[in-house]
A and B are shown apart, each in its own frame.
Chain A
């Protein structure tokens, strides 16, 4: 001990002197401050999340709703096929009918004061281009309406829809609005007659993509995502579990398995877009598979999720206590029987949890799918893994690029659908973990 320290130790410290107290107060204040900063960091993360989700929900909730306008449609027999025809013949004849004319006539009957070509077009454009398909459906289902006049709820165009939802500032000067004053007057007249309704839009869930925001739906993308994930699951799960079993139960500890391990950890950190490049070069370039097909997307995502599944499956297998293995071996089981009859079934809840989490990540992934052409505009709902398809996140990406104001809420609504599936999958993983996972 040096003299200096001895001097300090010999000093009598007055712990109650103002100087020491002030220093202590300062130190405690710093501590409090530090703690407050730490808390605000956590709070900031929470606020970001609330702001993000709040924003999405606020924008997206109206996306599930759609404005319809009730129109008195005169099913003019002179424009329509003979209702006494056979069903099939009637439907075939319907395909040639100019329903736009029928619609225009009905609207002009309602607004006799409208005249002139430009105004008539404006008036009919208040309805969606899907209104014709609605009329066709009604007629094909029930040809008997020909010759009568019926009240029909028809989809409004996206611009009318946006005004009804209050997303458009109608106090703006007329030239800055898509919907001009004339249309607003007509819309007000419809509203005053109780002919405008804003209700749940089931088409958004059941339809495929479209160029018109009021006609789009997420079903095509949901099916595409489902098929893609199916391919991913069928390839990544068996291979991932098999390699986890090998690495945990059978692999000799040598340089080669070391390399495999390091390699798997590195693969998990490779940017997802690089897997897309591999998919493009190998599946499309070498194997010549079709662009935009769920099978290619699924295989690419399988490469991406494989490391995740291997890592979590290894953790689950390693968590099975050695006593289980010893007991099985003692009863004469071969090492394969030990692995497949005892270790893997016990590790299964953990493996499944990891797999579901990996699948959830694959569901949200879009960058590698852009590389292999899943960004095409596809109206039809895919029927199999070889059909062109898109997936939910890519659909969101595509809609986010669309210029129409109405696509903002459609994009946000699609995000809500995607988040719903993610929450469901993660919830399932948590449930599995809590229900089946054992502590040894």
Chain B
């Protein structure tokens, strides 16, 4: 039995409650439904919500906190010797126990762990049964409450609509909850990281090598967590991408809004949309397989030493990816300039090019600048292209022919494969994520402010 079984049970109960209470409301007035305040189905809806919500609340509570509770119970039940000897690695211990619990005994031999895993399974099973019973109990209570309310005068529809209104509001606040969740999880893990690594080392350090000793007594390189080379690499690639995407995107937007006839637009718009819809993993494959060797060979012909994972290849392909982004946002900015200004300039004898350069572009400048900023923010946060086509080794350089690594590459490298949740190495990924989130947020807010502050009121 799993959580989804409980979900299905509650849903079934809600359907039954709907049918029963609906019938009951008809029966209460002996079929004369016109004497009911609300239509029978609203009595039914009300009852099904009354069954659904308490049951779901219990289930949600269990889903969020169940495993943590069971884990704590297990830890408390372990012999003191084991718990003490592993005090710093409790998470590791829990992971091992859970692995045995989920995948069978495997290679574990420690009796205590096997016993703990068995206890884990038993407790978890009990927890699920308890949740099922509790949620059914809560649903039943809800049902009794709703069923008692069925009288002719009961205002079922307003009551139901009030709850519905609350649910709608709740879902729109979820968007805020996501933001809070992002910020909270990033900050929470980052704080733990900064307890081990000073903030100034992270912000100003120029050496990134997140290898930490696995055991306390192990002789290994001390980890270095200076994020400067990562951000340098990120900005280098974003800069190259903007050199490609900025002019091409803007000129394409100008051509499509000012010069192109409907026929050209009908071809060019879908082309840009397809370019925007291609998944980034495809661009990454294209960069690694086709563009990087191309640049490398071209470098050999020109006598240049181009790394096989050069920043140039990743940057150019990322530029191609954000061309549609720049062009559609610049397109909007240009279209927002009132036609009368353009017509006025043309009427005074300016050529279309002069009108565009001297009248339209200055008028649309805030919008265009904001589209560039949003594109930079997108390039900074882009992951798959750089994971597949950029390097892994931190390299503080401005030379686009060398391999550099980026923030997103390091996050992926730190968090894929097996990891413990609490090592400095893993936590550093969250610190990088926080830095990335803040950087892109600054770019986005700045872009929005730019448009808001400098937008001309033409009318």
Contacts and interface: CB of A to CB of B under 8 A. Distances in A.
Given A48-B320, A272-B381, A278-B181, A288 B282 contact: no
Interface stretch (A3-11, A136-144, A238-246): A238-246
A397 B381 contact: no
Given A48-B320, A371-B415, A419-B282, A400 B352 contact: no
Q: Is the interface of B mostly helix, strand, loop or mixed?
A: helix
B79 interface: no
Contacts of B284: 397, 400
Interface in B272-286: 272, 274-275, 277-286
Interface in B260-294: 260, 264, 267-268, 271-272, 274-275, 277-286, 288-290
Chain A: interface size category: 35 or more
A46 B168 contact: no
Given A273-B383, A277-B186, A278-B182, A415 B282 contact: yes
B254 interface: yes
Contacts of A52: 278, 282-283, 286, 320
A46 B383 contact: no
B371 interface: no
B301 to A, nearest CB: 20
A260 B182 contact: no
Interface in A283-301: 285-288, 290
Interface in B220-264: 247-252, 254-256, 258-260, 264
A288 B169 CA distance: 28
B382 interface: yes
Q: Is the interface of A mostly helix, strand, loop or mixed?
A: helix
A424 to B, nearest CB: 12
Output the residue of B2, B64, B178, B357 with the most chain A CB within 10 A: B178
B248 A41 contact: yes
Given A42-B256, A281-B185, A250 B285 contact: no
Nearest to B71: A288
A72 B254 CA distance: 67
B340 interface: no
A307 B171 CA distance: 12
Nearest to B176: A263
Given A41-B247, A277-B411, A288-B71, A55 B172 contact: no
Given A243-B168, A270-B437, A264 B279 contact: no
A240 B102 CA distance: 34
B454 interface: no
Interface in A397-440: 397, 400, 408, 411-412, 415, 418-419, 422, 426
Contacts of A242: 167-168, 171-172
A167 interface: no
Contacts of A33: 353
Contacts of A56: 282, 286
Contacts of B433: 273-274, 277
B279 A271 contact: no
B286 A422 contact: no
A393 interface: yes
Contacts of A422: 277, 279
B274 A49 contact: yes
Contacts of A361: 277
Contacts of A274: 182, 186, 381, 433, 436-437
Contact of A365 (B68, B279, B290, B353): B279
Contact of A38 (B98, B251, B411): B251
Contacts of B181: 278, 282
B279 A418 contact: yes
A411 B285 contact: yes
Interface stretch (A23-31, A192-200, A210-218): A23-31
A154 interface: no
B144 interface: no
A367 interface: yes
Output the residue of B67, B161, B172 with the most chain A CB within 10 A: B172
Nearest to A277: B433
Output the residue of A39, A334, A373, A412 with the most chain B CB within 10 A: A39
Interface in B407-438: 408, 411-412, 415-416, 421, 429-430, 433, 436-437
Contact of A245 (B168, B274, B382): B168
A307 B381 contact: no
A173 B185 CA distance: 56
B172 A271 contact: no
Given A27-B354, A34-B353, A408-B289, A243 B186 contact: no
Output the residue of A239, A240, A273, A285 with the most chain B CB within 10 A: A273
Contact of A243 (B171, B248, B351, B381): B171
A50 B382 CA distance: 23
Interface residues of B, number: 100
Contacts of B139: none
B185 A35 contact: no
B179 A273 contact: no
Contacts of B377: 269
Contact of A271 (B171, B178, B356, B383): B383
A130 interface: no
B441 A266 contact: yes
Contacts of A126: none
Contact of B165 (A28, A250, A385, A411): A250
Contact of B412 (A269, A367, A386): A367
A259 interface: yes
A275 B182 contact: yes
Contacts of A270: 182, 381, 437, 440-441
B161 A334 contact: yes
A343 interface: no
Contacts of A277: 182, 185-186, 411, 415, 429-430, 433
A265 B176 CA distance: 11
22 contacts: A31-B352, A40-B251, A41-B249, A41-B252, A42-B251, A45-B323, A46-B268, A52-B278, A243-B172, A246-B171, A271-B380, A272-B381, A274-B182, A277-B182, A278-B186, A281-B185, A286-B64, A288-B68, A307-B175, A334-B158, A367-B383, A397-B281
Interface of B: 2, 4, 63-64, 66-68, 71, 98, 102, 157-158, 161, 164-165, 167-169, 171-176, 178-179, 181-182, 185-186, 188-189, 247-252, 254-256, 258-260, 264, 267-268, 271-272, 274-275, 277-286, 288-290, 320, 323-324, 327, 351-354, 356-357, 374, 377-378, 380-384, 387-388, 408, 411-412, 415-416, 421, 429-430, 433, 436-437, 440-441, 444-445, 448
Given A49-B275, A278-B182, A288-B71, 14 more contacts: A34-B353, A35-B353, A41-B248, A41-B252, A260-B173, A266-B179, A274-B182, A306-B178, A366-B279, A370-B387, A371-B411, A386-B2, A397-B281, A397-B284
Task: Across the A-B interface, give the 3 residue pairs with the lowest CB-CB distance, nearest first.
Answer: A271-B381, A364-B279, A38-B255
Interface of A: 27-28, 30-31, 33-35, 37-42, 44-46, 48-49, 52, 55-56, 59, 238-240, 242-247, 250-251, 259-260, 263-267, 269-275, 277-278, 280-282, 285-288, 290, 303, 306-307, 310, 334-336, 360-361, 363-367, 370-371, 373, 375, 385-386, 393-394, 396-397, 400, 408, 411-412, 415, 418-419, 422, 426
